[in-house]
Structure 1
Amino acid sequence: MKINDLEPLIPYHPANSRYENMSYRRTGNSGLLLPEISLGLWHNFGHNADFTSARKILRQAFDLGITHFDLANNYGPPYGSAEETFGRIMKKDFEMYRDELIISTKAGWDMWPGPYGNFGSKKYLIASLDQSLKRMGLDYVDIFYHHRPDPDTPLEETMGALDQIVKQGKALYVGISQYSAEDTLKASKILRSLGTPCLIHQPRYSMMDRWAEGGLLDTLENEGIGAIAFSPLEQGILTNKYLKGIPEDSRIAKDGRYIQEDKITPKLISKIEALNNLALKRDQSLAQMAISWLLKDTRITSVLVGVSKASQLKDNVGALLNTNFSSEEIQAIDKILEK
């Protein structure tokens, strides 16, 4: 990691007003409240990032009332490095505020070589969480997720591992990510029978990616499971950053693994321009409207954002000032995206 410890930040004292402007929602039928905006550490916390900038992002988040920091075993690059960075910052700035934080991590994607470093076996999940706790310097995480469905491992084994993790005291709650509605229902029933209810589901969800509306959100509501949406801005597409071309510091320009440059077509730009004009009429940025659009649904507990600069968090949190949409606005958004 690009460490800038020659210019250390002054000792951190969080803002006394940090809980005044953030709203919190109950996670399903549980007792846990999550901030309506949560911070994901998928990007900008690996060894290729600037350590001082990462500290500033986390400090700004907590000052704004964002109490939930979301990680995974393979966040970086390289794998594990985001957890290492977070562990360093946790020790420097947040150790005394541990009980004010919700820290989550996940396992399910490829992490280490060989047959035991991927998917959903008990061997992999328990070993991965032990490694994650060591990297972050924590005794437990608040939420541990199975990161993706495993088509080959019996669901009973995967859910049994999550149950065991809670009963061992390594996690307070467990969740799943990207499971279909059908598999979510099966997983929920297994976990409930074991005495460890499924707390939360983390689906990819935005106004441009609505697969969760095909039954998943209804299942979550019926099962009393919360939902935290990731990629709410479609990797930056639902912002105004691409209206005048592709900036050199954008994710597309720097890392084409998740969005290819040829995806930014004239047709897409036309949709973004129309959405941006609608956002301006709502006195919001396009990013704010995209976040607000998700939060208009009370089944969404929190929206997971990722930022490259601490200042971007203020814009994201500004979305909470207006999460109401008229029927005309909803119809207009749908019409734009159907073109």
Structure 2
Amino acid sequence: MQHQARKTRYDQMCYQRCGRSGIKLPAISLGLWHNFGSVDVFENGKAIIFEAFDKGITHFDLANNYGPEPGSAEENFGKIAHQHLKAYRDEMLISTKAGYYMWPGPYGEWGSRKNLISSLDQSLKRMRLDYVDIFYSHRFDPDTPLEETMMALDHVVRQGKALYAGISNYPADKTREAESILRELGTPCLIHQARYSMFNRWVEDELLDVVDKRGVGLIAFSPLAQGLLTNKYLKGIPEGSRMMRNHFLKEEHLTAEKLEVISKLNELALDRGQSLAQMAIAWLLKDPRVSSVLVGASSVRQLNDSLESLRNRAFTRDELDRIEGILKAIE
């Protein structure tokens, strides 16, 4: 049964230009890294996707290895999109990636033409799509000529299997090289997806300037530092949390110094009338070079909490100075 999208879905969301392209991205996009795999509750994932679309989130971000199990997030998203959102395909911007481990042998990961094209073909089958809107090289491959990786992206765009090409997790110098190669091939680099948060600011060293000068959009992932930039851990490690499961976020990441920083940031957020998570998202969006922020969601409630960050995106000079002073404790 097709989902009947709300008529008001575009009334509240802010859309921002992605670099110097014709694409506008919602200020907040939905990432399906966690909570949409085969180990998760399918109906919950479906409810989150419906709510996201009904609130103006048009961009849904995946990768071949998202799950767990790897590939299952694409399968679940494809089932939902095919059965319930097919009528809205032209309103949706769907992205996927290849580069991390997916299958055994020498061609199951990294940046070879063989891996990228094979992986995209598999992703399209899993998602029941004819094309994706953005296809990313998920990480820089030091052992494959960058020209080969970029030529593979150019190839799938020319085939019509992707509308745009992107890169993710590339250092600034390789971003500059990749963008130049793609531009010469005639397939401009639309976007760079990078880890960026108050606790991980490496993109500020050079990458933000590179994408700005080259007309490439930047979309930030892990804006809440895997949950550290929330009030979740202020009173210890709760049962069922990502840290308790000890997967990507480790207990040793929560040092006494970092806990004190989180507590002070939380106080500042409350002064602004926001949760810490909302302030952390708004803080990223203050920079016009950031086209969109990717958020994850384990529930409709959590998704809507993230969307509330758009109600207060402005920071005073004093607030920004206070944030910088707090963060200096963990530099």
Q: TM-score scaled to structure 2, two decimals?
A: 0.98
| Post-superposition offset of 1:226 | 0.1
> 8 Å contact 2:220–2:293 — kept in the other structure?
yes
Q: Deviations over 1:271-321 (max 9, x none)?
A: 111000000111111001000000000000000000101111111111111
3-state SS of 1:336 partner: helix
Which runs of at least 4 in structure 1 moved beyond 6 Å after TM superposition?
Answer: none
- How big is the shift at 1:61? 0.4
| Structure 1 residues 1-339: aligned runs within 5 Å | 12-254=3-245, 256-339=246-329
2:314 is matched by which residue type in structure 1?
N
Tell me if the contact between 2:124 and 2:132 (Cα under 8 Å) persists in the aligned partners.
Answer: yes
Kindly provide the amino acid, as one letter, of the partner of residue 273 in structure 1: S
Q: In structure 1, what residue type is equivalent to 2:311?
A: L
Which segments of 5 or more consecutive residues in structure 2 lack a partner in the other structure?
Answer: none
Deviation at 1:93, TM superposition (A): 1.4
**Amino acid of the residue matched to residue 262 of structure 2?**
I
**Which digits, 9 at most, give the CA deviation of each residue in 1:207-253, with x for residues without a partner?**
11000001100000000000000000000000011111111121111
Number of matched pairs: 329
| Residue of structure 2 in register with 1:6 after alignment | none
Write the distance in 2 (CA, Å) between the matches of 1:293 and 1:40.
19
Q: Among the aligned pairs, what percent are the same residue?
A: 60
- CA–CA distance in structure 2, aligned partners of residues 312 and 169 of structure 1: 35
- The CA RMSD over aligned residues, in Å, is 0.9
Q: Shift in Å at residue 11 of structure 1? A: 5.5
Question: More displaced, 311-320 or 227-236?
Answer: 311-320
What secondary structure is seen at the aligned counterpart in 2 of 1:104?
strand
Does structure 1 retain, via aligned residues, the 8 Å contact 2:136–2:167?
A: yes
What is the TM-score of this pair, normalised by structure 1? 0.96
Distance 1:299 1:11 in 2: 36
Classify the secondary structure of the residue corresponding to 2:7: coil
Distance 1:319 1:106 in 2: 27
